[in-house]
Each structure stands twice: as C-alpha cells, then as structure tokens.
Structure 1
Amino acid sequence: MNATPVVAVTMGDGAGVGPEVVVEAVVSPDVRAVCRPVVIGDLGRLRQAAAIRGVDVTFNVVEDVADAGHQDGVVDVVDLGLLPEDLPWGRLSPVAGDAAFQYIRVACDAAMAGKVQAICTAPLNKEALHAGGHVFPGHTEMLAELMGVDEVSMMLSTAKLKVVHVTTHLGLIDAVARIEPGLVERTIRRGNEALVRAGNARPRIGVAAINPHAGENGLFGYGEEAAKIAPGVEAARADGIDAVGPLPADTLFFLAGRGDYDLVVAMYHDQGHGPVKVLGIEAGVNITVGLPVIRTSVDHGTAFDIAGTGKADVASMIEALRQAAELAPTSSVPSPARSA
C-alpha cells in the first residue's frame, strides 16, 4: 500500500498562473516521491497550461478524488468544467473568481470526508473572487468557514524563516485592537503544534512586540506589550512551550534569520510578510494551521502580467506540495473542531 498522503490541489484563478504551475508541479518527481496529488480544476485550462509549459502529460478525469489512479506522468483531475475555452489569460474574470471558490469547496468536502490528507492551493485573485460572489479576505478565511473552524492562523515558511501571524487581513488600527492575550497564546500554540508535527520536538519561538523597541518600558505606545502580548506568552510557557517575548520585531527577525528561533510570532500582516518576502518570495509557502487538515499554498499571487506566457516559476508550488506532504498524516478522518 502507498503510504504517501493524498493531496487535493486546487487550480486557483484560471486566468492567472495557477494552471501553469499546477500542471508542471504535480508531475514533478520530487512531488510524486512524497505525495499523491489530485487536481481539482478545469481540464480544458490545464490542457492549455500544459501546452504553454511544454509539459508532456496525460490527463485522467475522475468523478471523485478517491478514484484517482496516481500514475507517474498522469495528472488526475476532478474536472468541474466551469471555465469557457476562450477565457483570456491575465484578465480579471468573475467566472474565474467563482470557479476558484468552487475548487476550494470541493477540496474541503474531500478533506472533511477523509479522502485527502492535505490541501495545496494555487493562487486566487481576491477582486475576481468578490466579483464572482464570494466575499472573503482570502484563502485562509474561506477555508476556515468551509471547514467549520472559528479560528486559524497563517504561517509563512521559507528555508530561513517561519512566521505565524496573530492577525492578518486587517488594517493596522483594527489589528492592534484585535490583539489580546488569549489570541496570542492560541497563535503560539498553533505554530508550536505545526512545527512539532513536522518533526521539531521543541521549537524555539520568538514573539514580536507591536511597538518599536517593544515599547521601551512605556516610552512608545500605550502599554500594549504588557497588556496584550506578555500574558499570552507566559501562559504558553507555563504549558511547556519554549516561547520568548515580546521582543523588538527588527531584532527578532534578524535573530530568527540567523537561526536563533525556529518560528516568529508576528502581530500583524506586514510585520510578518515583509521579512519573509524579502528572504524568499519565489520559494515561500503559505501554511494554514488550525484546520482539520493541513493546507499549504504558494506565497505569490496570480501574476496576471505573466499568466499564459510560460514564465511563472514553479518552485514555490513544488515546495508547497512538499510541505503539505511533510505536515500531513498518511490517513485522516477529520471533523470540524471549533476553536475555543
């Protein structure tokens, strides 16, 4: 019996680079060595993408992910047939936005039924998603709702740095208001659990402050570090988690980059995303932690400017699939688990 996990791979926005990087990545020997991918998307668009990339593959259309054959050189596809053949590359499309949502919905259904052990997503376009009738800030929030989970965390991962976010798609003022000790503690716990699951028995976790110099004893800010962050760190430490903070963010990212910490807990979107994208936007991976199954994604967008040209780099998609396999169990029967 093949012990590698089955991974549902969603095609993303069909007008972007998703179909191109998916069709090439899922037949990569590096990917096939660690998992059994099944693409959820549109067969016609995948055929076009294969031709653009010059990838010689055979397509096997299946009604259900459980019917996939998992043969080398063959792309198993659950074909939803939602895109017109003449859909332009690189242009915003409500049809493509709706289709991207439907791919995710089918993948979540398969995961909740225990048919796949992980989900790996190609990029979607938020404006197209909204135009298609699905108003979510992004993949993370959509997956949480579809799987019946109240709270998840976004983790970004490169070879040098891993960052999990306490808040993500919020304006800065709203993000600071949202931060509180319980949320900080739960984020630390989710990040710790993900790294333990990946084989790091005791991750070293650095927790970032909100204000410059971690507030410098009240010189900057209004005591947010002491009121909002420190109690969450202390609660995690009391349970045996090796977490330290709040620490000045600029120094913390330097220390993590040189290897002093396995994970940084960032307080808001740009605090965490900026350093990660400087270090590795092409090979970075977006991981959602706290779902019933692991979900990974490329850490880049739909790249409409190069969609349909064959120029998209497939490295991030391959790495996303590799990390999905690394973090996933070989079997699962998940159920919706509401966060406290």
Structure 2
Amino acid sequence: MKPRIAISVGDLNGVGIEIALKSHKKISALCTPIYCINHYMLNQACELLDVEIPSDFEIFEVEGSFNIREGCVDKDSGRYSYDSFMSAVKLCEDKKADALVTMPIHKEAWMLAGLHYKGHTDLLRDYFKKDAIMMLGCEKMFVALYTEHIPLREVASQITKDKLLRFFLDLNRAIPNKKFAVLGLNPHAGDNGVLGNEEREIEAAIEEANFILKEELFFGAIVPDTAFTPHFRASHTHYVAMYHDQGLAPLKALYFDESINVSLNLPIVRTSVDHGTAFDIAYMGKANTLSYENALKCAIEFI
C-alpha cells in the first residue's frame, strides 16, 4: 500500500494548484495524494491553466467558493487556504492520511481573513499545544530555526539557557542522534564577550544538552559569517540558526529551488514547499515543482 498524503492547496491566487497538477503523475507513483479542494474551485483553476483534471485526482471536499484572482491578495483566498490546511490536518488526525504536505499561503491574505497566525507552523503550534520546530533545507544542508517570525530586535531577549536547552532536546527527540552546528548570535560569535554575551547562554545550553544526551550532538557557538563557507559545509549538513534570516539567507542563496520546510516535534508529519505564493507568475505555467516534490519525498521518509 502506498502512503496516503494530504495536500493542502495553499492560496489559490498563487502557484500552488499549478504545481500540484503539474506534479500529480510523478508523485502518484510514490503515494496516493489527497487534495483538499472542492470540484468547483478545482475546475476554475484548471480552466485558468487550460489543463484537464487528471482522472485519478482524488479530492477531499473543502467547502467554500470565490473567484480566483491570479496574483492578488484577498481575504477569500486567504480563508480558503486556511480551510484547506485544517482539512488536511484533520485527515492526518483521523488516520485517513499518513502525512501532510502544504502549498504556500499568503500571510497578508490570512490577516485580511481575520486569521491571527503568521503561518502554518504558528497555527500547528497553537493547535497541538506543542513547541513545533521549523527546519528548512535539502539533503545537502538543513537549518533549524531557534526563533522564527519575530522582529530582529526581540531575538536577543529569547536567547536564554533554559529555552535553548528545551529547544535542543526537542530537536534531538524529533531527529535522534543528528549532529548540529549551533550558530552564535553576534559577529565573531561574541568574541568572548567583547561583542555580546548571548553566546555564553548558547554554550551553556549546548554543554547541558550534550551531558543529558550523553553524546556531543550540539557544538558551538559557531561564528556565523564562516559557518556556510564551502570548507565548513564539506563536513557539516545540519545547523541551528538563532534567527530567521541568519539561517535562511545562506540556505536560499545556495539551494532555493530544492529546499523544503519541515515541522518537527508534532504528533503529525508535515512538510512544505520552501517558497511563497509567487503571485507574479501565477497561472502562467512557469512554476517550479522541485521543492514540492522534495517535500513530498521527505514526508514519506518521516512516516
């Protein structure tokens, strides 16, 4: 039996449904995808793309309808992307799907729809009452984010030994025995306190985590501006970044098309594309499917 994977279609004003249709034949060889969309919205999208619905395109009906507006931000598409996502989550909870793969949503569209979440991971964290961990990357390099969608000025106050220790232990529980290079916060990793003291909290948390785990699985704090050089990457594939852009700027510069997003430390398996709604190319037939296909393969591996 092939695994059953729930697919949330994302913002229908963007590229998600195009990617799903383009990749359907390829991914159907690996799993049974269940697309969380209704026939009315699917037919409308296919007409705009000038493609036919595949005969084996299994859908889970998500109520609601609106007129797709290619490349536009609106509350209706935001709400529908939320409903599609929550339908896919429920399929996993009810054991009708083995994992969940998400297409991109638009944060402003969610805000317009009255949804007070910054994205999928925030919603999952609140829904399951678990400290979900966001990790992004590909086979060549993965980056786990200690802080995610918060203003940069708030990052330093979040760097405490106790919070970091809990993060490291949760990360190890999700991916046992994986070694992580942990980035410092400050330039030169603080230069022994000359440029900041946050690294002392990081190093104390690393020391205690390794003691509890009885293995040197976390090390650092690593100087951030050399951590992604070819020489360092030759022997390190997994990182912990202290904030969003510290880890994702180098990751996307190196592996933008192939990277994915994985939500760890949750009761369900969830992976996602690592790109946005790409409104500028919506319904033009130009969307790249590689991130989605990698996300689906990763979801199957985690089942």
Give the structure-2-normalised TM-score: 0.92
Residues 158, 279 of structure 1: 8 Å contact kept = no
Which secondary structure does the structure 1 equivalent of 2:280 belong to?
Answer: coil
Q: Which amino acid aligns with 1:209?
A: G
Pair 205,255 (structure 1): closer, same or farther in 2 beyond 3 Å: farther
Q: Deviations over 1:73-121 (max 9, x none)?
A: x11111214232x321111110110111111111222222222221100
Residues 207, 265 of structure 1: 8 Å contact kept = yes
Q: In structure 2, how many angstroms separate the alpha carbons of the residues matched to 1:127 and 1:137?
A: 9
Which moved further from structure 2: 106-115 or 49-58? 49-58
Structure 1 position 21 matched with structure 2 position 19: yes
Residues 143, 240 of structure 2: 8 Å contact kept = yes
Q: Which amino acid aligns with 2:114?
A: G
Structure 1 position 313 matched with structure 2 position 295: no
Aligned to 1:304: 279
Residues 52, 309 of structure 1: 8 Å contact kept = no
Structure 1 position 36 matched with structure 2 position 16: no
Shift of 1:176: 1.5
Equivalent residues in 2 for 1:85-164, closer than 5 Å: 86-146=67-127, 148-164=128-144
Residues 263, 270 of structure 2: 8 Å contact kept = yes
Q: In structure 1, how many angstroms separate the alpha carbons of the residues matched to 2:232 and 2:32?
A: 32
Residues 170, 265 of structure 2: 8 Å contact kept = yes
Which secondary structure does the structure 1 equivalent of 2:267 belong to?
Answer: coil
Which of the two has greater helix per residue?
A: 2
Aligned to 1:225: 199
Q: In structure 2, how many angstroms separate the alpha carbons of the residues matched to 1:313 and 1:218?
A: 45
Residues 44, 68 of structure 2: 8 Å contact kept = no
Which moved further from structure 2: 152-161 or 270-279? 152-161
Shift of 1:56: 5.0
Residues 14, 83 of structure 1: 8 Å contact kept = no
Shift of 1:231: 1.9
Structure 1 position 5 matched with structure 2 position 3: yes
Equivalent residues in 2 for 1:268-279, closer than 5 Å: 268-279=243-254
Residues 70, 282 of structure 2: 8 Å contact kept = yes
Q: Which amino acid aligns with 2:59?
A: V
Q: In structure 1, how many angstroms separate the alpha carbons of the residues matched to 2:257 and 2:89?
A: 26
Aligned to 1:335: none
Q: Which amino acid aligns with 1:80?
A: V
Pair 266,256 (structure 1): closer, same or farther in 2 beyond 3 Å: farther
Q: Which amino acid aligns with 1:293?
A: I
Structure 1: runs of 5 or more not aligned: 60-73, 197-201, 329-340
Percent identity at matched positions?
Answer: 32
Q: Which amino acid aligns with 1:19?
A: I
Q: In structure 2, how many angstroms separate the alpha carbons of the residues matched to 1:183 and 1:43?
A: 46
Residues 284, 316 of structure 1: 8 Å contact kept = yes
RMSD of the alignment, in Å?
Answer: 2.0
Residues 11, 122 of structure 1: 8 Å contact kept = yes
2:164 aligned to which of 184, 197, 215:
184
Q: Which amino acid aligns with 2:94?
A: A
Which secondary structure does the structure 1 equivalent of 2:228 belong to?
Answer: helix
Q: In structure 2, how many angstroms separate the alpha carbons of the residues matched to 1:36 and 1:176?
A: 44
Q: Which amino acid aligns with 2:116?
A: V
Equivalent residues in 2 for 1:145-294, closer than 5 Å: 145-146=126-127, 148-196=128-176, 202-221=177-196, 223-226=197-200, 228-238=201-211, 239-241=213-215, 242-254=217-229, 258-294=233-269
Structure 1 position 46 matched with structure 2 position 42: yes
Q: Which amino acid aligns with 2:293?
A: I
Residues 81, 105 of structure 2: 8 Å contact kept = yes
Q: Deviations over 1:199-227 (max 9, x none)?
A: xxx32210000011111111102x1111x
Residues 40, 106 of structure 1: 8 Å contact kept = yes
Shift of 1:13: 0.5
Give the structure-1-normalised TM-score: 0.83
Residues 97, 125 of structure 1: 8 Å contact kept = yes
Q: Deviations over 1:29-71 (max 9, x none)?
A: xx23432211112333333444565655435xxxxxxxxxxxx
Q: Deviations over 1:108-154 (max 9, x none)?
A: 222222222211000000000111111111111012222x2231111
